[in-house]
Amino acid sequence: MKLTKQGYTLGGVSLLDVAREFDSPVYVYDADQIVANYHELKNAFKGLDVHLKYACKALTNINVLKLLRKEGAGLDTVSIEEAMIGLRAGYEPSEILFTPNSIGFSEIKEAVELGLVINIDELSTLERFGNEFGNKVPCCIRLNPHIMAGGNSHISVGHIDSKFGISIYQVPHIKRIVDSYGIRVNGLHMHTGSDILDAEVFLRGAKLLYEAARSFDNLEFMDFGSGFKVKYREGDVTTDVNDIGAQIVESFKTFCAEYGKDLQLWFEPGKYLVSNAGYLLADVNVVKQTTSTVFAGVNSGQNHLLRPMMYDAYHNILNISNPAGTERIYSVVGYICESDTFGYDRKLNEVRVGDILAICNAGAYGFSMSSNYNSRLRPAEVMIYKGKSHLIRKRENLDYLLENQVEIDLS
């Protein structure tokens, strides 16, 4: 986003014009920023056969998937529905990694029938997979390295109490199952969490995967997950992907030499690719002063952007209608019948009823975690592509809310 003489623009398009054309609230995504993020990360691992599998749970709009496919990305999916959207977007089944947890085996079978790359994170499922498919269908194994990453239990998924993955200490048990059923293990996977700053976290996990790899002779790839930290506010420390890249490249080359063949290195970036490319625009409905606080109440809420309430996440907020106004202190709140606060005590250029506020870094886990709570409608989505704004999802209406409800005769 840039502040010009004409106001705030995204990809050369006025954000106020977007709000006027498509109404608010509205999600807006900058396609150029998504593409730039993809190539920045890919270039950090030069010298290796690197495959970036976009973790599409961050933002599943089919146009975002098509955009990243055009750049060469694969997909990381966690549900059969995400995988089907990926297929609809044009991905080959072999480009889609299927990494679910706590699902029924019927969904695993459906993924196999679709030809997806199967990633298994539970011993009994692995045993059933072997019994069902033997050596006919390869699979990847998700290991839990027992590493706390990100410093937050909500976003750290590789610690000892996590539901994700098979314990690194259970590799001998995995090996017995694999040998008993002749399962072809073609990859090893780990994902420790989000907001990782230190290359040491990846290197520690990588070392454990390298050791586990000695138990499997026919690996084709190793997947280090993702978790690169993005910037949410001024002064935030972010992941130095070039530093991590240089260290991972060196360690992976050493491992491949010892293993006896060059493997593919996979990562699953989600937030890193789309977070800073997205903005949620919302109208100011009321400016309400109490004895202690001035509230700016907008026509959106936790139904559209859950992260501040669920994760206590910080999102920068800008008044794009009054960029030269005097700064004042506001708490920006939503219209849901909950304490849905986007930000406490924020310095904003003076806010007036009818102004448009832009909530930044809303590209990841924004629309994809939205809901119809309070029977509110989900907003439209717009992509700025090649200097033009394109509607990529229509705003919902009341018919959408009632479409699947079945009225019965209560007389």
Question: Of the residues 139, 256, 337, 360, which is catalytic?
Answer: 337
Question: In angstroms, what CA-CA distances link 195 with 75, 164, 176, 273, 313?
Answer: 20, 17, 35, 13, 12
d(C-alpha 45, C-alpha 2), whole Å: 30
> For residues 298 and 284, is the Cβ–Cβ distance under 8 A?
yes
> For residues 311 and 152, is the Cβ–Cβ distance under 8 A?
yes
d(C-alpha 84, C-alpha 79), whole Å: 9
d(C-alpha 248, C-alpha 46), whole Å: 10
* 56 classed as catalytic: no
> For residues 249 and 207, is the Cβ–Cβ distance under 8 A?
no
Reduce the secondary structure of 32-100 to three states and give it as a string. Answer: HHHHHHHHHHHHCCCCCCEEEEEEHHHCCCHHHHHHHHHHCCEEEECCHHHHHHHHHCCCCHHHEEECC
Q: Whose CA is closest to 191, among 166, 171, 220, 216? A: 166
Q: Whose CA is closest to 276, among 224, 233, 330, 242? A: 233
N- to C-terminal Cα separation, the chain: 57
**What does the DSSP 8-state code read for residue 366?**
S
**What does the DSSP 8-state code read for residue 379?**
P
Active site residues per annotation:
337
